[in-house]
Amino acid sequence: MIMKTKCGLGLSRSVETSSAVEEAIAMAKQTLDGDAPAFAFFTSTVEHDAEEVVKAARRVLPGVALHGITTSLGVLGAHGVLMGSNGAIGVLLASASEASSSSFRVAHTRVDDDAREAGRVLGEKLLVANAGRRPDLVLFHASPGQEESLLEGLAAVLPNVPTFGGSAADHAIAGEWSVFTDEGALKSAASAVGVYGGHVGGSIVAPYVPTSAKAVIGKSEGRRILELDGRRASDVVHAWVGSSIDTQAKEGGNILAQTSRHPLGLRHASDEGEYFVTLHPAHIDASSGAVDLFAQAPEGSEVYKMEPSALGLLDSLERLIERALSNAYLKADDVGGGVLIYCAGCAGAVGDALDEALRRHLNAKLPGVPILGLCTFGEQGWVQGVGNVHANLAMSLALFE
């Protein structure tokens, strides 16, 4: 008899990395009823040495495919935000039993200059891993920097396969992030879990709406906007965000906190309606007037000043869960497990209130379901009519039966 996939969630705030990994795995195994795990999805904050996390995982779960990334701020879930004085570790295990509704395959690739090719290789590996069968959904996690090209390459091999995930993160935006793979903890890589069979689906929500203020990107280089409507990009962003970034507009600096309430939005129009991909202005370079983002800003595109939606950064979690359930054609009782992605910038902005909001919404809408949550530096998800997108200041949720 086919049943929903047994999943287990394990968490630890133990100071010592090896003990934390052991503790988290032991906790996650409790709900697997002795089944072997098909894969282990790890996340940890960067207080823990990433290589140590992989070594400990290998020792405790020999032969089990590893997947995951480091998280910023803490480990999220129905428990709220887990963070200890030396960080936190979380793991999601999914049963490999043939009685499970869904089966899983894991693949990873290093990412060098040609990220599109790396994405293509990742897709090929997922196909090969399951005898040429296309996954019904992909959990996708990569180092931040080239997610758009990775998704493009992945889509070339796996067109129209909904892909949900988030980018590896640290606390200080200092490049301390890692991607957890069978090869070890990698600085520049992408890892994916192909989910095959059962009801699967997800949702990506950016809790913002466009205002009437907009500008054309006159000059940009990848993730850096230099000119908006013929003016220095920092002058336009300063005017939109207001006096809270007076100092940074003059001297340069980090504007993450202030712009989390007023990001930019790139409009995508489709038969399904319009969708705004949110871009998070992270830093101003005072000498050039450039504004750095966590996503690409193509020249000639129109960007809108966004403002928080009525539901805002916390209660949008409810909409996210409802949409993911609806897109997966699942009732809460039938969900085996899932992965929640919440933008680190949003989490930093809402602070302690996130703890309560996670407990309230996850326990109300997905009671008892093992959900591993991460704070990321970029979020990816499937938008009907648009395809797989890479966005900032967004949240995504992938669910499987």
Partner 1 sequence: MGFDRETRLRHLLVLIEEKKSPFAISRLILMTGVNLRGKVDLSNAGVQKKLEDALRELLPANELMEFEATVEAILKGAR
| Neighbour count for residue 272 (Cβ, 10 Å) | 11
Among residues 47, 147, 227, 292, the one that binds partner 1 under rule CB under 8 A: 47
DSSP conformation class of 98: T
The CB-of-85 to partner 1 minimum distance in angstroms stands at 5
Does residue 355 belong to the site contacting partner 1 (CB under 8 A)?
Answer: yes
Among residues 9, 20, 81, 374, the one that binds partner 1 under rule CB under 8 A: 81
The CB-of-244 to partner 1 minimum distance in angstroms stands at 8
Q: Select 72 or 101, whichever has its Cβ closest to partner 1.
A: 72
Sign, CA torsion 31/33/35/36 = positive
Report the distance separating Cα 326 and Cα 375, nearest Å. Answer: 24
The CB-of-177 to partner 1 minimum distance in angstroms stands at 12
Which tokens hold the place of 114?
């040609």
Q: Select 271 or 352, whichever has its Cβ closest to partner 1.
A: 352
Looking only at residues 132 through 171 of this chain, which bind partner 1 when binding is defined by CB under 8 A?
A: 171
The CB-of-354 to partner 1 minimum distance in angstroms stands at 9
> Who contacts 157 (Cβ-Cβ below 8 Å, separation ≥6)?
120, 123, 124, 127
Cα end-to-end distance, the chain, whole Å: 14
Among residues 45, 95, 149, 316, the one that binds partner 1 under rule CB under 8 A: 45
- Contacts with partner 1: how many residues (CB under 8 A)? 27
Question: Residue 165 in contact with residue 359, Cβ under 8 Å?
Answer: no
Does residue 348 belong to the site contacting partner 1 (CB under 8 A)?
Answer: yes
Looking only at residues 84 through 123 of this chain, which bind partner 1 when binding is defined by CB under 8 A?
A: 84-85, 87
DSSP for 294-337 reads: SS---TT-EEEEEEE-SSHHHHHHHHHHHHHHHHHT--GGG--E
Q: Select 173 or 372, whichever has its Cβ closest to partner 1.
A: 173
| Neighbour count for residue 118 (Cβ, 10 Å) | 24
Q: Select 159 or 351, whichever has its Cβ closest to partner 1.
A: 351
The CB-of-349 to partner 1 minimum distance in angstroms stands at 9
The CB-of-83 to partner 1 minimum distance in angstroms stands at 4
Among residues 8, 10, 74, 338, the one that binds partner 1 under rule CB under 8 A: 74
DSSP for 340-399 reads: EEEEHHHHHHHTTHHHHHHHHHHHHHSTT--EEEEEESSEEEEETTTEEEEESS-EEEEE
Q: Which of 104, 92, 15, 23 has the alpha carbon at shortest distance from 56?
A: 23
Looking only at residues 244 through 303 of this chain, which bind partner 1 when binding is defined by CB under 8 A?
A: 247, 254, 256-258
Q: Select 98 or 352, whichever has its Cβ closest to partner 1.
A: 352
Does residue 243 belong to the site contacting partner 1 (CB under 8 A)?
Answer: no
Residue ranges in contact with partner 1 by CB under 8 A: 45-47, 72-74, 81, 83-85, 87, 171-174, 247, 254, 256-258, 344-345, 347-348, 351-352, 355
